[in-house]
Chain A
Amino acid sequence: MRIYVPRDAAALGVGADETARSILAEAQRRGIAVELIRNGSRGLLWLEPLVEVDVAGTRMAYGPVQFNDVAGLFEAGFTTGKPHALSHGVTEQIPYLKKQERLTFARVGITDPRSLEDYKQHGGYRGLKTALTLKPEDIVASVTASGLRGRGGAAFPAGIKWKTVLGAQSAQKYIVCNADEGDSGTFSDRMLMEGDPFVLIEGMTIAGLATGATQGYIYLRWEYPQAKLALEAAIAAANAAGYLGQNILGSSKAFELEVRMGAGAYICGEETSLLESLEGKRGQVRFKPPLPALQGLWAKPTVINNVITFASVPIILDRGAEFYQHFGMGRSRGTLPMQLAGNIKHGGLVEIAFGMTLREILYDYGGGSFSGRPIRAVQVGGPLGAYHPESQFDTPLDYEAFAAIKGMLGHGGIVAFDDTVDMAAQARYAMEFCAIESCGKCTPCRIGSTRGVEVIDRLVAGENAAKQETILRDLCETLTYGSLCALGGLTPYPVISALNHFPQDFVKPVGASSAAG
């Protein structure tokens, strides 16, 4: 009797450990032998804890299962897949999951993230084996041909970055994984690291082979303790089995990997700031050039990519660039794991090819708002992404299409707000967030963000509003063009989009006191 209860942090946060204990206790009481597997999450987060029972090789889903539901489930015969109020039938057939195109997340929720054997049985390490037969330039060519662009937010072609590092002459090069997933509304990196850590390790190892780098670091945010446990266990297993170390699978090629913890600084998701932090310094942004690809970590050539970027590489090497390139639209190739979050009924992870519209994902997958009220605004791409009104919901999820409406897909986070949202408060929060998280190196971001909060307060209070709006727009222009990195440079996105699309929220209602905050 095999039962799956996720160990994903989101599942743990709603009681998965208690559910797992309860299942073991109840099984023992009934004399049923149970093999409990702590898998990753399937990404149907509103159903967590989602318990799955293996019935003759078919996995049946029940959720959300709290510890006090367990006795009833056993009573109803869930161990043989019998129906229950919480049952959702065959997991794979749940429409939310069935309609997805899971390439990068192919194994997440299915395998045991602690088991290297399970990883290999589900197609793991085939990409690395292919890579070991190729010359470095051929690996790079394959990644370039796949059209894979950096999934961290900036969408820079991965192959071009790798080619620069391959061409750089240096005795030491580094592979750095940016796992500082600080954008609100995003959790795909976390889910992947917790649910399938080996695929990240494999992707980084391939990057090492492709560029001649022998040392890798995963820079992980402290807020993800479960991901740390999963990665460290997987690295130990990969080392023990010869998939990492000084002689990878007897090829005499070396690649070592280490997890380093961040310490709560949003700015460290910016690549040069992350490198400073890895070097043990304040996470202050560096001037570019030099590019990290030429002078990165300790001034050595460095590939720095996001978790999902590296994790997309093994399937490209395994199935070929053409297979991956076939998904998507325009210059956005492959799939993007979108994350549905905020005030949404069916929040979770949706990996699909680029091109679906925002409306389709909000309603066909998300099922509308969690509160049942109309969705009024959607922030796409994290705290630096724009707020989109309903009139823009038909925009396809594509890097260029979002850039065209002064927004960005970023890391694929979608945060829905219902009609109770105060968009002036959201604009103010964007400035406040920038002020709290600014590294302080450049003036527009350091000072401009604080001034921005003050100007929005005065605007909302109705103190010479027309003038305040002019000042706010002018300030945002200074931030956009005068900041050193994306934090200051993109903070105007949520501010100006809120102001342009929801101007009525910035007008003080007659007779009301200040609504700021």
Chain B
Amino acid sequence: MSSQSPRRVIPIKVERQSNLTAKERSAVLDACMRLKGLPGALLPILHAVQEALRFVPKDAVPLIARELNLSVAEVHGVVSFYHYFLQERPGRQVMHLCRAEACQARGGVALEAHVKATLGVDFHGTTRDGAITLEPVYCLGNCALGPSLMIDQQLHGRVTAERFDALITRRQEPT
């Protein structure tokens, strides 16, 4: 019964057109290779991708989905659920400003207005010169010494408007 009728191959486009650079692509694949053996590997992989690329590019999602044998929707659902994962390329620095009650009690609301006015952006925005992306955060665990903000994982407490201006000026100087 082994008739030689040619097998029909339905081409499946495994990967959509991707805009990832070769470097980005290899960073994503490297994170997957290193971590996909872990139980519940998706969050560790997303952390590794964001650590390497500073955000999780849209085109990384199908690649991660393929490596973990998940659907694109599942991976996208996870990336978009968590506030920490950035889906757009951020500025050179990411500033997380605390909006929670303990900081509010110490002038956090006024500081928030000052920060937005100084940077000229709202939350989730990036300054026009591409220097800083401003993100809200709900508690940095520095509630006795607020208002607090974090710049690239570095915590700053007792931030007044003046201290904020000094921080920004210091950081604008090239290092």
- Stretch among B12-20, B24-32, B36-44, B126-134 lining the A interface: B36-44
A415 and B141 form a contact (CB under 8 A): no
B140 interface hit (Cβ, 8 Å): yes
A261 and B43 form a contact (CB under 8 A): yes
A186 and B143 form a contact (CB under 8 A): yes
A-chain residues with CB within 8 Å of residue B58 when the two chains form the complex: none
B40 and A282 form a contact (CB under 8 A): no
Contact with B along A398-435 (1 / 0, CB 8 A): 00000000000000010111100100001001000100
Nearest CB in chain A: distance from B128 CB, A: 26
A184 and B144 form a contact (CB under 8 A): no
Nearest CB in chain B: distance from A408 CB, A: 15
- Which partner residue on chain A sits nearest B70 by CB separation? A280
B102 and A185 form a contact (CB under 8 A): yes
Given A370-B106, A415-B105, A10 and B142 contact (CB-CB distance below 8 Å): yes
Within 8 A of A (CB), among B126-167: 137-146, 148, 150, 153-158
- Which partner residue on chain B sits nearest A371 by CB separation? B106
A224 and B141 form a contact (CB under 8 A): yes
Q: When chains A and B are docked, how far (Å) is the Cα of A187 from the Cα of B103?
A: 13
A323 interface hit (Cβ, 8 Å): no
How many residues of chain B have a CB within 8 Å of chain A?
42
B46 interface hit (Cβ, 8 Å): yes
**A260 partner, pick from B44, B100, B141, beta carbons under 8 A:** B44
- Stretch among B2-10, B80-88, B114-122 lining the A interface: B80-88
Nearest CB in chain A: distance from B17 CB, A: 27
A9 and B142 form a contact (CB under 8 A): yes
A186 and B141 form a contact (CB under 8 A): yes
Which secondary structure characterizes the binding site on chain B? loop
- Which partner residue on chain B sits nearest A45 by CB separation? B144
Q: When chains A and B are docked, how far (Å) is the Cα of A429 from the Cα of B153?
A: 26
Q: When chains A and B are docked, how far (Å) is the Cα of A181 from the Cα of B85?
A: 19
Q: Which range holds the interface residue count of chain A?
A: 35 or more
- Stretch among A231-239, A263-271, A326-334, A444-452 lining the B interface: A263-271
Nearest CB in chain B: distance from A243 CB, A: 23
B72 interface hit (Cβ, 8 Å): no
Given A263-B43, A263-B85, A264-B82, A433 and B144 contact (CB-CB distance below 8 Å): no
A437 and B138 form a contact (CB under 8 A): yes
A264 and B78 form a contact (CB under 8 A): no
Nearest CB in chain A: distance from B66 CB, A: 15
B101 interface hit (Cβ, 8 Å): yes
Given A263-B47, A264-B82, A344 and B144 contact (CB-CB distance below 8 Å): yes
Q: When chains A and B are docked, how far (Å) is the Cα of A343 from the Cα of B105?
A: 5
Q: When chains A and B are docked, how far (Å) is the Cα of A433 from the Cα of B153?
A: 23
B138 and A433 form a contact (CB under 8 A): yes
Contact with B along A257-293 (1 / 0, CB 8 A): 0001111111000000000011111110000000000
Contact with A along B68-93 (1 / 0, CB 8 A): 00000010011001111100000000
B-chain residues with CB within 8 Å of residue A63 when the two chains form the complex: none
B140 and A223 form a contact (CB under 8 A): yes
Q: When chains A and B are docked, how far (Å) is the Cα of A340 from the Cα of B39?
A: 38
A-chain residues with CB within 8 Å of residue B138 when the two chains form the complex: 182, 184, 266, 383, 433, 436-437
Q: When chains A and B are docked, how far (Å) is the Cα of A261 from the Cα of B49?
A: 13
Nearest CB in chain A: distance from B135 CB, A: 9
Max chain B Cβ within 10 angstroms of own Cβ: one of A46, A280, A370: A280
A-chain residues with CB within 8 Å of residue B104 when the two chains form the complex: 342, 426, 429
B150 and A383 form a contact (CB under 8 A): no
Nearest CB in chain A: distance from B106 CB, A: 6
A184 and B102 form a contact (CB under 8 A): yes
B-chain residues with CB within 8 Å of residue A429 when the two chains form the complex: 101, 104
A264 and B83 form a contact (CB under 8 A): yes
**B148 partner, pick from A13, A265, A421, beta carbons under 8 A:** A13
Q: When chains A and B are docked, how far (Å) is the Cα of A13 from the Cα of B154?
A: 8
- Which partner residue on chain B sits nearest A298 by CB separation? B39
Q: When chains A and B are docked, how far (Å) is the Cα of A266 from the Cα of B85?
A: 14
Residue pairs across A and B with Cβ atoms less than 8 A apart, 20 shown, are A9-B142, A10-B155, A10-B157, A13-B145, A13-B148, A187-B141, A260-B43, A262-B84, A263-B47, A263-B83, A263-B84, A264-B82, A265-B83, A283-B82, A342-B143, A379-B101, A415-B101, A418-B105, A429-B104, A437-B138
Q: Which residues of A contact B (CB under 8 A)?
A: 9-10, 12-14, 45-46, 48, 181-187, 189-190, 222-226, 260-266, 277-283, 298, 339-344, 347-348, 370, 379, 383, 413, 415-418, 421, 426, 429, 433, 436-437, 439
Task: List the 3 closest pairs (A to B, CB-CB), nearest first.
Answer: A347-B144, A184-B100, A342-B105
